[in-house]
Structure 1
Amino acid sequence: MSIELTQKAAERVREQLSQRGAGIGLRVGVRKSGCSGYMYTMDYADELDPDDEVYEQHGARLVINRKHLPMLEGSTLDFKQEGLNRMFRFDNPRAQNSCGCGESFNLVS
């Protein structure tokens, strides 16, 4: 399994966890939703579940449930600032199409 966390994304994760004062990393996953089929999910990880995998890069941790790994394989998580907008962005080579709002995507079979 490979998922990359960029330096900027890692800095943002560390910054958010520091401001929050708790947490072991950023939990990422996918869920069925939206007009294209799936959407990414992100939340703080305060503990590990038995089915979790942990990936550490640049001093920050990503926590991913094993059932989500096939849909995230080869992805890169970056943090972008465009004008006043600041957001995490996934670059997922398996995502085939996304909806107009950019919130949901479908996967290459």
Structure 2
Amino acid sequence: MAVRLTPVAFARVQRFIEQTPGALGLRFGVARTGCSGWGHVTDLAREQREGDTVFEQDGVRIYVDADSLPLVDGTEIDFGKQGLSEAFTFSNPNASAECGCGESFTTDAAHR
């Protein structure tokens, strides 16, 4: 599978990379957080780490660490505005449930 960006998210990430010296691409993964257990995490990648899987989409690289990969493989990353807020949103096929606020998710026991 892969991790991919919608056209809107692609444009946003590409602009972040171009404006940030030393940025190699997008770092995407998960961290324990929230009431459901996992939260998606995005940042700019400044280095490739041991164990990273790198997905490339039209020249933009997405770096995913080995621990996060089973939890995010197949995710589509979008970017949207709602009122005054702007944020990445995630369509993650591995999420079996999300908390009420949408900040965290759970997966089937096989991915824990």
One-letter identity of the residue aligned with 2:82: E
- Match of 2:42? 42
Q: Where does residue 101 of structure 1 map in the other structure?
A: 101
The structure with the largest strand share of the pair is 1
Residues 14-23 or 31-40, more deviating: 14-23
* Distance (whole Å) between structure 2 residues aligned to residue 18 and residue 2 of structure 1: 23
Give the TM-score of the pair, scaled to structure 2: 0.87
RMSD of equivalent CA atoms: 1.4
TM-superposition CA deviations, 1:32-89 (whole Å, max 9, x none) = 1110011111111111112111111133111001221110122111111233322111
- Check the 8 A contact 1:11/1:60 in 2, yes or no: no
TM-score between both structures, scaled by the size of structure 1: 0.89
1:55 paired to 2:47:
no
1:80 aligns with 2:100: no
* Cα distance in structure 1, aligned partners of 2:2 and 2:52: 15
Which stretch of the first structure deviates more once superposed, 37-46 or 14-23? 14-23
Contact 2:54 2:61 in 1 (8 A): yes
Contact 1:7/1:58 (CA < 8 Å) preserved in 2?
Answer: no
| 1:30 and 1:68 in contact (8 A); partners too | yes
Residue 83 to residue 99, structure 1, CA distance change in 2 (3 Å) = same
